[in-house]
Amino acid sequence: MQQRSIRRVAVVGTGTIGMSWAAIFLSRGLEVSASDPAPDAEARLRRFIDDAWPVLARLGPVAATPPHQLLTFCADPETAVSSADFVQESAPEREAVKAAVLARIDAVLAPDIVIASSSSGLLISKLQASCRHPERCVIGHPFNPPHLIPLVEVVGGAQTAPATVERAMAFYAAIGKRPIHIRREVRGHVANRLQAALWREAVHLVAAGVASVADVDTAISEGPGLRWALMGPHLTFHLAGGAGGMAHFLEQLGPPLESWWDDLGSPSLTPSVRDALTVGVAAEAGGRDIAALAAERDRFLVDLLALKKSSGS
Amino acid sequence: MQQRSIRRVAVVGTGTIGMSWAAIFLSRGLEVSASDPAPDAEARLRRFIDDAWPVLARLGPVAATPPHQLLTFCADPETAVSSADFVQESAPEREAVKAAVLARIDAVLAPDIVIASSSSGLLISKLQASCRHPERCVIGHPFNPPHLIPLVEVVGGAQTAPATVERAMAFYAAIGKRPIHIRREVRGHVANRLQAALWREAVHLVAAGVASVADVDTAISEGPGLRWALMGPHLTFHLAGGAGGMAHFLEQLGPPLESWWDDLGSPSLTPSVRDALTVGVAAEAGGRDIAALAAERDRFLVDLLALKKSSGS
């Protein structure tokens, strides 16, 4: 597969994830050609970019070229990808929908162009199956909000060429994201499985009456969540082992941890559990609507990322 | 139970957790009487306090009185608690050891004084069973490092008086911690169960060859871990639901999440898994020893807590 420098990125699907991808690509001075079937998609995308721009500028230098000059909104995916050097697909998270979009793009696109899917949990082996050139298809899964969260999960499927994974990794790293290569495809990739595991126990603790929704959240955001913004769970436990590190940790705390594993819950999202979660989180939000909470989160994330950058961590 | 103002705290056991408790109590101007059977315990405690003091001063005003003037090191737990208004027990995390220490303290202490145990996962119902006054025993579980992490989990046992829980909650809140009341005792309380759930899947993903130790850690610290420093898992998913919040999230993402739950791993800490974790985390640490990593973490936590404070979040 030819190494071609990436100047123009097609963003296929401009919902929450696609809009955010478009903003970060534009901030790096890349041309973006976007498409989305929603009638108000272009206006919504342009408003999102206007809102995201000053936020991105706080995180680091953004392109001198005004973003709207670099952005073309296209009538369909085929037009959007026609002169693209890289494709980021962010269609709705349904296997049939995504597979069909990938096949449409693949049918018209030069075979040396990588098609990355933002899928949060589907297997690329399934999504690439109807493509003529499945070897250039890969998962490039960002985290919400993608213009702020550095992580991108890169996963190849049964037919993905190793060079495709390498190109996607290199591209995401070059635009300042933090890609990780997931070696074996599993449902939910890595980070969503970890989130799902944490949330399963969080739901269990609420469902079993151990703690309120708000208190379970506080147990994370005023507790281990503070450490996880810097270090993942393995390194955190390496430190918990003291001078002996992970080996000592496993010796001392392996047995209690395994006993807690055995005791973890397996809740179901029954109607009454759903009610408890919905009512509990509304109490926790305490009148702050989603827009206010999202603004609070994004302000915090910008400050946190600036802090991590300045401390070199 | 009489409400008595807390001026003197006994810190029984001055290992990693007890030392850190002593530092925070002293920083709030409380007198501390400490005990620990280790031969070098007093010197180690005083060195720890010297190191922690400037860190605590960066987080907020500390007591004007020099900490060593407020600290008395005692030969045994009975002496340490003799004029205490609150007892924080931080003996080794073994049921028999802790139960014996609680019984010794209980035998000599006025019945209106709360005894809080730092136990990270034992049941207070078992620990209090040999006390004459079990009603004043409660879990007050901090998170490492306790002088920095705000969370304290408060759990009553079968014989704990509601007033004991209230007094412990009020005391921790008054010294600037963030206590949560866990309504029903379970092994590992809340935060350690959540950590255990996350780590179980983290271990599974390494053991199954899905990703390296370092990449699993990055998936948290450059991904959802950034959000968890501000918002717990429920509120995070409330936001992921967009304008429809948790109800919409459950409708849209409940089914994939339940399918991921079904697919989560159940690893065992076999010798080969332990090796993979130990080798992997050493590679991730890349030559940084535990002291260097802990210093990095603590610098980051101080900055992060200052950031949360300044943004009012």
- The whole-chain average pLDDT of chain B stands at 95
Q: CB distance from A66 to chain B under 8 Å?
A: no
> Looking at this protein, which amino acid is placed at residue B277?
L
Q: Which residue in chain B is spatially nearest to A121 when comparing CA positions?
A: B256
Q: CB distance from B270 to chain A under 8 Å?
A: no
| Complex-level ipTM | 0.95
B 136-175 → A contacts, CB under 8 A: 143-144, 149-151, 153
Chain A nearest C-alpha distance from B103 (Å) = 23
Both tokens of A53, joined, read: 């721009």
Of B216, B245, B304, the CB nearest to A229: B304
Q: Where residue B305 falls among pLDDT bands split at 50, 70, 90? A: very high
Chain A nearest C-alpha distance from B201 (Å) = 6
Chain B nearest C-alpha distance from A52 (Å) = 17
Q: Which of A220, A261, A290 to mutate to test the interface with B (most CBs of B within 10 A)?
A: A220
Q: Where residue B313 falls among pLDDT bands split at 50, 70, 90? A: low
Percentage of residues of chain B with pLDDT beyond 70: 98
CA dist A192 and A187 (Å) reads 9
Phi-psi region of A261 (alpha: psi -120 to 50; beta: other; left: phi over 0): alpha
* Calculated CA dihedral for residues A11, A15, A20, A21, nearest 10 degrees: -20
Q: CB distance from A190 to chain B under 8 Å?
A: yes
SS3 A168: helix
Residues of chain A with pLDDT under 50: 1-2
pLDDT one-digit tens code per residue, B185-223: 999 999 999 999 999 999 999 999 999 999 999 999 999
Q: CB distance from B200 to chain A under 8 Å?
A: yes
> Residue B2: what pLDDT?
45
> Residue B3: what pLDDT?
57
CA dist A56 and A43 (Å) reads 20
Q: Which residue in chain A is spatially nearest to B16 when comparing CA positions?
A: A242
Q: Which residue in chain B is spatially nearest to A145 when comparing CA positions?
A: B240
Q: Which residue in chain A is spatially nearest to B207 when comparing CA positions?
A: A184
- With 50 as the cut, is the pLDDT of residue B1 above it? no
CA dist B195 and A53 (Å) reads 36
CB contact under 8 A, A239 and B293: yes
Q: Where residue B311 falls among pLDDT bands split at 50, 70, 90? A: confident
pLDDT one-digit tens code per residue, A116-135: 999 998 999 999 999 999 99
Provide the pairing of β-strand A151-156 with A137-142: antiparallel
Chain B nearest C-alpha distance from A291 (Å) = 7
CB contact under 8 A, B257 and A250: no
* B312 contact partners, CB below 8 Å, separation of at least 6: none
Percentage of residues of chain B with pLDDT beyond 90: 93
Q: With beta carbons under 8 A apart, name residues in chain B contacting A245.
A: 278, 281-282, 285, 290
Tell me which residue has tokens 């190849």.
A156
CA dist A10 and B275 (Å) reads 44
> Residue B71: what pLDDT?
98
> Residue A1: what pLDDT?
44
Per-residue three-class SS string for chain B: CCCCCCCEEEEECCCHHHHHHHHHHHHCCCEEEEECCCCCHHHHHHHHHHHHHHHHHHHCCCCCCCHHHHEEEECCHHHHCCCCCEEEECCCCCHHHHHHHHHHHHHHCCCCCEEEECCCCCCHHHHCCCCCCHHHEEEEEECCCCCCCCEEEEEECCCCCHHHHHHHHHHHHHCCCEEEEECCCCCCCCHHHHHHHHHHHHHHHHHCCCCCHHHHHHHHHCCHHHHHCCCCHHHHHHHHCHHHHHHHHHHHHHHHHHHHHHHCCCCCCCHHHHHHHHHHHHHHHCCCCHHHHHHHHHHHHHHHHHHHHHCCC
